């Protein structure tokens, strides 16, 4: 009864989303990866552009990582894109381009966790495979009046979903649970009086929907101070900037300005001089421009930007400032380059340019590579 009531509501009320017009497992895989930790409205244009550029498994498998990251640029959490790319390559090589119908085989692919596996299995292949995301967890917790530690709660809810998904239209059923969580049983303002399944709901019976699930303890974002170096060459119309993939691990392989974290420098200027010397040797340094502030999922960045010319050392490449869109360049680097050119335009007015600063001969150990393992936020 609960199942059929929910399915009828979904049939009437579901939003018209582009990935709901297909049963192609590859397209559903792409949509599910993009939707992780990202709002539906944000994902729609990326999904459409990505599938227009890479419409099939072979087209994505044969693309370079930088092409894939360029199409993902701005969506954040770039590790998702790299894992999707690796997974699709494996499907191309091992399974002749066909996403396996067997859940055990799909689960071994890079980037396919339990949730994504259930989404592909139920939506694309119509199999009774459960899925639990944040929406489902909240809805089932409220419907059943469940409270437990996060780990226990998740375990119980997977078990409940395994039972519930068996029956007619498992893909629609899974999507209906998620849709209810996204549009009716929302985290802070659940619409209980008009909810299609209110008569089955324990939290509604108790008039206490917000008591479920128990709130999570949030880890506050860490403040990180950075210096960034804009090294350019060439005339204004053909100017190029030096970008690198290696300086910080915050951005999952995207191209960035050379950047370093300021750890214990007496001043950011000392850190900048030391860092610049390690990249371009003795060079005239201008700045700082900024500070520019940028939020990632678990970091609050404050960046001082310095400009200089010279011949950079180490891994990196020159990228035309006019062609940034063709490369996987991080949102932060685009923002810093935008701020730099805006401030330079302002300074080209009545004021004189900033006094050049010479990088010190002997770099001090005032910087270290940036923190690892976090992904870029939106």
Binding site for ligand SF4 (CB under 6 A): 139, 142-143, 184-185, 190-192, 195, 197-198, 201, 203-204, 209
Please, which residue, 143 or 329, has the CB nearer to ligand SF4?
Answer: 143
Please, which residue, 94 or 183, has the CB nearer to ligand SF4?
Answer: 183
At 207 the three-state DSSP class reads: coil
Please, which residue, 204 or 333, has the CB nearer to ligand SF4?
Answer: 204
Best CA proximity match to 133, nearest among 87, 100, 180, 77: 180
Q: Closest separation between CB of residue 147 and ligand SF4, Å?
A: 14
For residues 185 and 178, give the distance between their C-alpha atoms in angstroms, rounded to a whole number. Answer: 9
For residues 367 and 130, give the distance between their C-alpha atoms in angstroms, rounded to a whole number. Answer: 47
Name 9's Cβ contacts closer than 8 Å, sequence gap at least 6.
Answer: 176, 180, 196, 197
Which is catalytic among the residues 11, 32, 98, 344?
32
219-to-215, 216, 222, 299 alpha-carbon distances in Å: 13, 9, 9, 11
Active site residue 32: yes
CB 6 within 8 A of CB 180: yes
Return the structure tokens found at 307: 């400009």
Please, which residue, 64 or 183, has the CB nearer to ligand SF4?
Answer: 183
Please, which residue, 211 or 270, has the CB nearer to ligand SF4?
Answer: 211
CB 47 within 8 A of CB 19: yes
CB 281 within 8 A of CB 270: no
Please, which residue, 75 or 140, has the CB nearer to ligand SF4?
Answer: 140
For residues 305 and 292, give the distance between their C-alpha atoms in angstroms, rounded to a whole number. Answer: 8
Return the structure tokens found at 111: 């980037």
Give the relative orientation of helices 25-35 and 40-53 as an angle to the nearest 10 degrees.
140
Q: Closest separation between CB of residue 56 and ligand SF4, Å?
A: 39
Best CA proximity match to 187, nearest among 200, 206, 203: 203
Q: Closest separation between CB of residue 195 and ligand SF4, Å?
A: 3
CB atoms within 10 A of CB 318: 14
Please, which residue, 51 or 185, has the CB nearer to ligand SF4?
Answer: 185
**Rounded to an integer, what is the distance from CA 117 to the centroid of its chain?**
19
Q: Closest separation between CB of residue 139 and ligand SF4, Å?
A: 6
Backbone dihedral region of 373: left (phi > 0), alpha (psi from -120 to 50 degrees) or beta? left
The catalytic site residues sit at 32
């Amino acid at each position: 009864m609960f199942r059929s009531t929910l399915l009828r509501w979904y049939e009437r009320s579901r939003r018209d989303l582009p990935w709901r017009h297909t049963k192609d497992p590859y397209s559903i895989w792409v949509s599910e990866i993009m939707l992780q930790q990202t709002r539906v409205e944000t994902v729609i244009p990326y999904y459409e552009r990505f599938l227009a550029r890479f419409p099939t498994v072979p087209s994505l498998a044969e693309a370079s990582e930088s092409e894939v990251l360029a199409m993902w640029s701005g969506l954040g959490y770039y590790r998702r894109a790299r894992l999707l790319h690796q997974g699709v390559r494996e499907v191309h090589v091992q399974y002749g381009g066909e996403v396996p119908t067997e859940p055990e085989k799909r689960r071994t692919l890079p980037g396919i966790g339990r949730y994504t596996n259930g989404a592909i299995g139920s939506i694309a292949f119509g199999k009774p495979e459960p899925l639990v995301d944040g929406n489902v967890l909240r809805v089932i917790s409220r419907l059943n009046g469940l409270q437990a530690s996060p780990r226990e709660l998740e375990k119980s809810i997977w078990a409940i979903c395994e039972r519930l998904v068996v029956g007619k239209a498992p893909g629609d059923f899974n999507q209906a649970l998620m849709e209810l969580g996204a549009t009716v049983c929302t985290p802070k303002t659940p619409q209980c009086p008009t909810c299609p399944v209110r008569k089955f709901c324990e939290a509604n019976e108790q008039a206490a929907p917000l008591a479920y699930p128990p709130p999570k303890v949030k880890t506050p974002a860490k403040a990180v101070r950075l210096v960034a170096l804009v090294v350019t060459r060439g005339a204004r119309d053909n100017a190029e900037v030096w970008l690198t993939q290696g300086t910080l691990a915050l951005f999952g392989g995207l191209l960035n300005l050379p950047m370093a974290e300021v750890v214990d420098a007496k001043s950011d200027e000392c850190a900048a001089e030391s860092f610049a010397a390690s990249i371009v040797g003795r060079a005239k340094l201008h700045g700082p421009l900024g500070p520019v502030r940028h939020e990632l999922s678990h970091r609050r960045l404050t960046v001082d930007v310095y400009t200089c010319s010279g011949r950079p050392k180490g891994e990196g490449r020159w990228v035309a400032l006019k062609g940034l869109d063709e490369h996987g360049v991080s949102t932060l680097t685009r923002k810093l380059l935008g701020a730099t050119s805006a401030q330079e335009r302002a300074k080209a007015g009545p004021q004189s340019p900033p006094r050049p600063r010479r990088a010190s001969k002997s770099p001090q150990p005032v910087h270290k590579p940036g923190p690892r393992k976090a992904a870029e936020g939106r």
